[in-house]
Amino acid sequence: NEFMNNLLQDSYSKLTKALQDAGVDSNLNDFNIADFVGDATLAFIILGAFFFVLGILGCVGACCQVKCMLVIYVIFLVILLLVEVTFIILIFAVRSEVDSWIKKPFKTAIQKEYKGINATDSISIAINFVSVEFKCCGVENSGDFNSSTLWRHETNVANPVIPAICCKNKTESEISDCVQNPDDNNSYKNQGCYEAIESWLTDNQNVMIGVGAAVLAVELLLMIFSLIVCKTNRKKDDYDEY
């Protein structure tokens, strides 16, 4: 619809400006969000369908006082709560394993699909944007680009060590020196994007914790409300039988 189109256009405009300000000449007309999220698209569709069905069960069950629908609704809510709590516990209990699991697909994208600073494919544009926005290089550091070859022809410099997007300054002469002789002064070679994003999340953790707590509270209230409705209906049925 028009609202979503305007929202996407605004997001694309901001993305274009951020990249151009950093000296990146990418054409966002070729940017396709479906290509970027890949197989996650199906997961989003399934998740959306699940919450849609869950909402229907709750609304119809409560409004029409259909006990079986309310019971199914409560069961789904309990499962959802257990999954969320389990995920939170896993993040703290096996942090290193969770980190490795999250990093793997991003490293694979860098090694197999990243094409350089001026590439127009979705993956390259996304990596460029994250690198510019968080002033970082690779998932852990510039070493993530070592086994990648597609980006090595982005400049006329022979045997580049790091991609140009990892350089702090974006003039041609500065990039030429940076990609061949990177250090902490002219590049972000030792600043991984995963750590940078993690730091940003930590800085905003109060907001995230607040939102998460609110979601859990709403789910608990919905579950309690559903149980109350079920109990009320049961008492009503017992009274009618009497």
Name the percent of the chain lying above pLDDT 90. Answer: 17
CA 105 to chain CA centroid, Å, is 12
Q: What mean pLDDT value characterizes the chain?
A: 79
Structure tokens that stand for 139 in this block: 């998932």
- Rounded to whole angstroms, how far apart are CA atoms 242 and 236? 10
SS3 130: helix
* Window from 37-41, 46-50, 51-55, 185-189 with minimum mean pLDDT: 37-41
Q: Is the pLDDT of residue 156 over 80?
A: no
Q: Look-up: residue for tokens 């309310």?
A: 70
Q: What is the pTM of this model?
A: 0.66
Phi/psi at 14 (nearest 5 deg)?
A: -65, -40
Q: What is the pLDDT of residue 44?
A: 73
* Domain coordinates in residue numbering, the chain: 29-93+204-242, 109-197
Residue 19 clears pLDDT 60, i.e. is over it: no
Rounded to 5 degrees, φ, ψ at 171 are -75, 155
Residue 223, pLDDT > 90, answer no
The helix/strand/coil state of 187 is: strand
pLDDT digits (tens, 9 = 90+) for 96-144: 888 888 899 999 999 999 988 878 787 888 888 889 889 999 999 999 9
User: SS3 sequence, 41-108?
Assistant: HHHHHHHHHHHHHHHHHHHHHHHCCCHHHHHHHHHHHHHHHHHHHHHHHHHHHCHHHHHHHHHHHHHH
Q: Between residues 4 and 56, which one has the greater pLDDT?
A: 56
